[in-house]
């Protein structure tokens, strides 16, 4: 099958959507499909050979954070050329209503369009404003996919209609096979906790974890909190005083280091306060075999099977977090039980499973795809045809 994937966000600063598209593309190619990815990327950014750049991206404030998007006549022309030369059986556009290359591809594609919605929001101003403009584009989409129940609700509320839920994929085996790093492994006296994410983005919740550190240290004076991610750690630990000694900075880490970190620590803490639609990091941590302690956001509840494969605490509440951490560290038997459940629960997020479901969707929109157009004038004035 010839598949064209369209990514609205720039590959210069890859994030969740870009990784999803990269993994999907590589998985489909591995299964013998022809795949081309159209995305913004600067000339000096190193990109895989299946990626076609529409040119550089402009940082724009969109949907509550700054995204690097591409638009304009040159982008439009390049998109048209990509569609024409690609001769795709299906065009799969991610976040089609981000004002970027996806929106352009949507209007120009002759092939059946599949769209994946990644973001979840209570009330998306961006979508509300865009609604009248995107209406005709919406009709071009033959199949809608949402990556989570929350993303699906966002689609239903803002666009009407429905979407099928197909979760994000994770290379679970990559994380399951990771080798632990002894430097990050905890002992009963010196347990290790891990945090991963932008340090200066309040939504990622580092401040919640930091506020919980003193209470955890009261029981475990040797506690080590390993903080990985870009940002200014000194600012985050300024309030902690002597407890700052428990916090170790890892800085930005590679994928391999991330897998090793999850395979090593006693628990991974996900204190996010909102804006999470899925929680792919939780699945990665579960795959690597660590216990997951997460805020009880809807998205996290679902990934953790309502606490069946991890531990939940009240979102944004440091006391509840400290409590949950102490409970988790103090009960190895329960931890083992939930980890065992997690091990089977993550299988539904594996790329093998996820890509097969996406291919099912492709099959449904292409099955009778190449029907010649009779022309709209004939429908208006021609003889009555079979329905």
Partner 1 sequence: MTPAEIALLVLAALVVIVLALSSVARRLDRLHRRETRSRATLEAQLVHRAEAATALTESDLLDPASALILAEAGWRAAVTAPRLLGEDGADAAEERGLAESELTRALRAALGPAADQEQWATTPESSQLLARLATASYRVQLARRFHNDAVVQIRRIRRNLLVRFFHLAGRAPLPQTFEMDDELTVLDPSSGTSPSSAG
- Using CB under 8 A as the criterion, which residues of the chain lie in contact with partner 1 when the complex forms? 136, 138-140, 142-144, 160-162, 164-167, 344, 347-348, 352-353, 356-357, 360-361, 363-365, 367-369, 371, 373, 375-376, 379-387
> Which C-beta is closer to partner 1: that of 11 or that of 175?
175
CB of 287: closest distance to partner 1 in angstroms?
A: 15
CB of 295: closest distance to partner 1 in angstroms?
A: 23
CB of 136: closest distance to partner 1 in angstroms?
A: 6
CB of 283: closest distance to partner 1 in angstroms?
A: 14
What are the φ/ψ torsions at residue 359 (nearest 5 degrees)?
Answer: -65, -35
Place of tokens 């390049």: 78
Both structure tokens of 224: 């080590």
CA distance 295 to 118: 20
11 with 18: CB under 8 angstroms? yes
Strand order across the 247-251 sheet = 247-251, 224-228, 192-196, 267-270, 291-295, 311-313
How crowded is residue 171: how many other Cβ atoms within 10 Å of its Cβ?
19
CA-wise closest residue to 228 among 188, 201, 261, 203: 261
Place of tokens 């997020």: 349
> Which C-beta is closer to partner 1: that of 230 or that of 347?
347
> Which C-beta is closer to partner 1: that of 254 or that of 371?
371
> Which C-beta is closer to partner 1: that of 53 or that of 172?
172
How crowded is residue 336: how many other Cβ atoms within 10 Å of its Cβ?
11
CB of 142: closest distance to partner 1 in angstroms?
A: 6
CB of 372: closest distance to partner 1 in angstroms?
A: 10
CA distance 133 to 356: 33
> Which C-beta is closer to partner 1: that of 254 or that of 373?
373
What are the φ/ψ torsions at residue 303 (nearest 5 degrees)?
Answer: -65, -35
> Which C-beta is closer to partner 1: that of 222 or that of 308?
308
Listed in sequence order, the residues at least 6 apart from 49 whose beta carbon sits closer than 8 Å to its beta carbon are none
How crowded is residue 386: how many other Cβ atoms within 10 Å of its Cβ?
3
CB of 343: closest distance to partner 1 in angstroms?
A: 11
> Which C-beta is closer to partner 1: that of 136 or that of 222?
136
Both structure tokens of 351: 């790329």
């Amino acid at each position: 099958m010839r598949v064209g994937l369209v990514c609205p966000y720039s590959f210069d600063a890859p994030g969740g959507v870009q990784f999803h598209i990269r993994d999907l593309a590589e998985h489909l190619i591995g299964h013998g499909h022809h795949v081309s990815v159209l995305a913004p990327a600067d000339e000096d950014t190193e990109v895989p050979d299946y990626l076609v750049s529409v040119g550089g991206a402009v940082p724009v404030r969109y949907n509550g954070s700054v995204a690097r998007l591409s638009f304009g006549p040159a982008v439009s022309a390049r998109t048209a050329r990509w569609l024409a030369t690609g001769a795709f059986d299906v065009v799969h556009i991610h976040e089609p209503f981000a004002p970027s290359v996806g929106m352009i591809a949507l209007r120009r594609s002759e092939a059946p369009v599949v769209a994946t919605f990644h973001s979840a929001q209570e009330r998306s101003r961006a979508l509300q404003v865009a609604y009248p403009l995107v209406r005709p584009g919406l009709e071009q989409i033959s199949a809608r996919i949402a990556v989570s129940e929350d993303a699906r609700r966002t689609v239903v509320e803002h666009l009407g209609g429905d979407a099928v839920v197909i979760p994000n994929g994770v290379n679970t085996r990559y994380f399951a096979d990771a080798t632990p790093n002894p430097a990050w492994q905890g002992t009963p006296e010196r347990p290790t906790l891990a945090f991963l994410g932008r340090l200066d983005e309040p939504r990622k919740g580092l401040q919640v974890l930091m506020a919980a550190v003193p209470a955890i240290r009261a029981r475990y004076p040797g506690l080590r909190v390993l903080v990985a991610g870009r940002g200014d750690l000194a600012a985050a630990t300024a309030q902690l005083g002597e407890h700052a000694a428990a916090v170790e900075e890892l800085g930005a880490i590679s994928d391999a280091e991330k897998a090793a970190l999850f395979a090593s620590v006693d628990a991974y803490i996900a204190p996010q306060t909102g804006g999470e639609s899925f929680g792919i990091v939780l699945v990665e941590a579960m795959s690597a075999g660590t216990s997951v302690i997460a805020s009880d956001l809807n998205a996290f509840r679902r990934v953790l099977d309502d606490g069946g494969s991890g531990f939940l605490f009240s979102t944004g509440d440091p006391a509840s977090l400290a409590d949950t951490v102490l409970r988790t560290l103090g009960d190895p038997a329960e931890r083992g039980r939930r980890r065992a459940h997690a091990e089977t629960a993550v299988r539904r997020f594996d790329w093998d499973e996820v890509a097969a479901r996406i291919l099912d969707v492709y099959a449904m929109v292409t099955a009778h795809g190449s029907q010649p157009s009779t022309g709209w004038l004939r429908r208006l004035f021609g003889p009555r045809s079979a329905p």
